[in-house]
């Protein structure tokens, strides 16, 4: 069968056959030999960048290293300098895969991957999506993502969608009239799977719930839904499963790296240990035991064009106690390190705690479609929400009580009902922001 998707990658210079073969070789390494494979890859990539990347050599302060734990932690601020100053010798902006991060952490930057490394990313994506019977060459994707609004950018993205066998639903306007239009497409198109930002897919599910429609009943070709880029809460997952009538798969990735974790068929968040090495570190950059929360720090084992070695992605998470080197399991993704609320008592709390506490109360009756929380003062939080009706005094009082119980008393909230919430230029919804 003609494989348009593979061909497109090949035309763009990504050696897919070699990458797929390498991935299969890595997958075949038995658990008892995996430690040797990881150590060898870590050493190779560090030596390569110390020899070929002046930016990384300067960061390390030496052209050799003795201990992995002595290597510096790379962060997004380090990378906010022109890309040509960060590229390895022998690579140019024309010879690599270029992209930029979304800036959801507040530190956007341009990054590069060599073509082979990016081919491995695609091979890894294809392998994991394949667990659910999805083939990028033949499966038709319903894509819930942002899209450039300028004419040329928009046409370019639509053409890419055509080559990639997907139909894009633009998520900048998610009013009921627009969602009604989405529904019509599901009635007439034979979609195999849904992929996109969690918040917009959840909003579509709430719309279906209101209309008492199960998506798989009107689009019987649907097999699975993969959500990405934003937190998936347990209740939302249950809602999606009920309204879509298909398995819901949670994906965690970063454009500058790869797919980091992908829900496997046993309902575990399996970490990508083939192209990445993931560490969980405390504030002193020491590895924490599995089962303990810490900063997620990742090494890209194959990217020679640009160093991502011990790179602090800006998230906090926990590896499961049953993790092994070959099969690490992400037990929990807690949120971003820069989304921490500082309370008058001195307590620090992940911003998502507020989101979680208020969410459980606000959404009881399905009136509130979505909301965001902003901390503007040490004791003041602004909640912006989209709903059919204004929140009543009883609901607001319930929120105050829950926050007093879970966090601390005497915090103040303002509630502003809006028609739509502000999303990033890519269509992401930032659920909690601190402006302190």
pLDDT digits (tens, 9 = 90+) for 29-38: 999 999 999 9
Q: What is the average pLDDT across 257-282?
A: 97
What span, in angstroms and rounded, lies between the C-alpha atoms of 152 and 149? Answer: 9
**Contact between 49 and 309 (Cβ < 8 Å):** yes
Mean pLDDT over the full length of the chain: 91
What span, in angstroms and rounded, lies between the C-alpha atoms of 295 and 297? Answer: 6
What span, in angstroms and rounded, lies between the C-alpha atoms of 373 and 358? Answer: 9
Report the number of secondary-structure helices (H) and strands (E) in the chain.
12, 19
Statement: residue 1 has pLDDT above 60: no
What span, in angstroms and rounded, lies between the C-alpha atoms of 160 and 99? Answer: 15
pLDDT band at 147 (very low <50, low <70, confident <90, very high): confident
* pLDDT on residue 364: 60
pLDDT band at 242 (very low <50, low <70, confident <90, very high): very high
Most confident of 29-38, 374-383, 415-424: 29-38
Choice between 196 and 360, residue whose per-residue pLDDT is larger: 196
Statement: residue 425 has pLDDT above 80: no
* pLDDT on residue 363: 65
Q: Which residues, at least 6 apart from 375, have a Cβ–Cβ distance to it below 8 Å?
A: 341, 342, 351, 381, 432, 433, 434, 435, 436
Quote the Cα angle for 220-184-228, to 5°: 70
Domains of the chain: 4-332 (3.40.50.12780), 340-434 (3.30.300.30)
* pLDDT on residue 105: 52
Q: What would the two tokens of residue 200 be?
A: 């917009």
* pLDDT on residue 301: 98
CB atoms within 10 A of CB 114: 20
**Contact between 109 and 75 (Cβ < 8 Å):** no
What span, in angstroms and rounded, lies between the C-alpha atoms of 218 and 35? Answer: 48
**Contact between 309 and 291 (Cβ < 8 Å):** no
314-345 pLDDT per residue, tens: 899 999 999 999 999 999 998 776 677 888 98
Percent of the chain at pLDDT > 90 equals 65
Best CA proximity match to 338, nearest among 350, 354, 347: 350
Best CA proximity match to 116, nearest among 137, 136, 88, 97: 97
Q: What is the average pLDDT across 170-177?
A: 84
| Tokens 């510096």, residue located | 72
Statement: residue 235 has pLDDT above 60: yes
Classify residue 278 as exposed, middle or buried by CB count within 10 Å of its CB (0-12, 13-18, 19+): buried
Q: What would the two tokens of residue 141 be?
A: 């994707």
Kindly report the length of the chain: 436
Q: What is the average pLDDT across 278-300?
A: 96
Q: What would the two tokens of residue 394 be?
A: 């009883």
Choice between 363 and 383, residue whose per-residue pLDDT is larger: 383
Best CA proximity match to 148, nearest among 112, 173, 166, 172: 172
What span, in angstroms and rounded, lies between the C-alpha atoms of 347 and 407? Answer: 9
What span, in angstroms and rounded, lies between the C-alpha atoms of 8 and 282? Answer: 42
């Amino acid at each position: 069968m003609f494989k348009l998707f593979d061909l497109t990658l090949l035309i763009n210079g990504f050696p897919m056959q070699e990458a797929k073969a390498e991935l299969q070789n890595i997958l075949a390494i038995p658990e008892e030999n995996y430690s040797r494979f990881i150590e060898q890859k870590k050493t190779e990539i560090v030596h390569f960048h110390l020899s070929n990347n002046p930016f990384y050599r300067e960061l390390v302060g030496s052209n050799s290293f003795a201990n992995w734990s002595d290597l510096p932690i790379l962060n997004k601020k380090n990378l906010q300098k022109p890309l040509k100053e960060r590229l390895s010798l022998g690579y140019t902006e024309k010879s690599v895969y270029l992209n930029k991060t979304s800036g959801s952490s507040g530190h956007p930057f341009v990054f590069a991957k060599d073509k082979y490394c990016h081919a491995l990313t695609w091979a890894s994506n294809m392998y994991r999506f394949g667990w659910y019977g999805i083939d990028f060459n033949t499966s038709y994707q319903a894509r819930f993502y942002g899209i450039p609004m300028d004419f040329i950018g928009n046409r370019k993205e639509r053409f890419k969608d055509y080559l990639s066998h997907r139909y894009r639903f633009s998520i900048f306007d998610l009013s009921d009239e627009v969602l009604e239009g989405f529904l019509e497409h599901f009635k007439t198109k034979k979609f195999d799977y849904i992929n996109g930002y969690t918040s917009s897919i959840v909003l579509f599910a709430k719309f279906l719930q209101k209309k008492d429609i199960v998506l798989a009943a009107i689009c019987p070709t649907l097999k699975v839904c993969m959500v990405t880029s934003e937190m998936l809460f347990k209740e939302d997952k249950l809602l999606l499963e009920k309204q879509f009538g298909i398995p819901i798969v949670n994906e965690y990735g970063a454009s500058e790296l790869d797919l980091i974790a992908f829900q496997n068929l046993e309902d575990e968040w399996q970490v990508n240990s083939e192209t990445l090495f993931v560490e969980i570190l405390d504030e002193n950059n020491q590895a924490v035991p599995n089962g303990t929360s810490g900063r997620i720090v990742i090494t890209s084992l194959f990217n020679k064009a640009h160093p991502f070695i011990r790179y602090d992605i800006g998230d906090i998470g926990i590896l499961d106690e049953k993790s092994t080197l070959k099969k690490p399991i992400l037990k929990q993704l807690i949120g971003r390190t820069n989304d921490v609320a500082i309370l008058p008592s001195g307590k620090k709390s992940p911003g998502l705690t507020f989101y979680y506490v208020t969410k459980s109360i606000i959404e009881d009756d399905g009136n509130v479609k979505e909301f965001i929380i902003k901390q503007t003062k040490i004791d003041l939080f602004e909640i912006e929400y989209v709903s059919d009706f204004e929140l009543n005094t009883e609901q607001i009082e319930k929120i105050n009580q829950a926050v007093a119980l879970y966090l601390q008393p005497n915090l103040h909230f303002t509630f502003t009902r809006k028609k739509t919430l502000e999303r990033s230029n890519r269509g992401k919804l930032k659920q909690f922001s601190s402006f302190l």
